[in-house]
Structure 1
Amino acid sequence: MLDVNQSTLRYWEKEFEGIHPYRNRKGTRFYHTEDVETLRLVKYLLKEKGFTIAGARDYLKTNRSHALKNMDIVETLKNIKEFLIQLRNNL
């Protein structure tokens, strides 16, 4: 879903507030919708926007809704671009 390593997820859990997966008896983590949303935001800020861990943490505290909106717009544009490329290749 997020296409990141398990170790990266564990690290982000420690570094960012609001990521609290449920663990079953075996210790398997299950992420709530809010956790996945936060992880998507973290990935967007770190990988796409080039934020540092500290910068992303601070940005999420003050601009979470703005970051969500921007991330959704970028993902929509990427999907449109991918669709147009596939359409062109099928011509």
Structure 2
Amino acid sequence: MPYKEKTIEKKYYAIGEVAGMFNVATSLIRFWETEFDLIKPKKNRKGNRQFTKEDIENVKIIYHLVKERGFTLQGAKDMLRSNSDQVKDKMEMIDSLTKVKSFLQELKKNIS
């Protein structure tokens, strides 16, 4: 059986990596951490934040509500408090539709 390279998935991400994923300043991620209970990165001995995939998903939801949909911080908090599952379902649907759109655009490009 030939050797197959495994992809190594990171368990933790630094705040700079998370900020880069959303093209925002690290200070905004730190601010959201204080404002939203959903974001709870671990801290190592040096005090550096270590974000899990779950933390990143929560940042993604907050980013969507605040930056893309224009919610105020209080509005985003209220939405998450009352409709957390609904917001997550919508985010998953948006992600799926975005992937389908990209696939169809690539297909169209290859056909042309």
The answer to whether TM tops 0.5 is yes
Higher helix share: 1
Equivalent pairs, count: 91
Structure 2: give runs of 5+ residues left out of the alignment.
1-17
Larger radius of gyration: 2
Does residue 85 of the first structure (1) align with residue 105 of the second (2)? yes
RMSD: 1.5
**Where in structure 2 are the equivalents of 1:1-91 lying within 5 Å?**
2-3=21-22, 4-91=24-111
Give the secondary-structure state (helix, strand or coil) at the position aligned to 1:51.
Answer: coil
CA distance, structure 1, for counterparts of residue 64 and residue 32 of structure 2 = 13
Calculate the TM-score normalised by the size of structure 2.
0.73
Structure 1: give runs of 5+ residues left out of the alignment.
none
Calculate the TM-score normalised by the size of structure 1.
0.88
Report the CA distance between 1:71 and its aligned residue: 0.7
Aligned-pair identity (%): 38
Give the secondary-structure state (helix, strand or coil) at the position aligned to 1:90.
Answer: helix
Name the aligned partner's letter for residue 50 of structure 1.
G
CA distance, structure 1, for counterparts of residue 66 and residue 104 of structure 2 = 27
Give the secondary-structure state (helix, strand or coil) at the position aligned to 1:14.
Answer: helix
| CA distances 1:55-91 after superposition (whole Å, capped 9, x unpaired) | 0011101100000000110111111111111111112
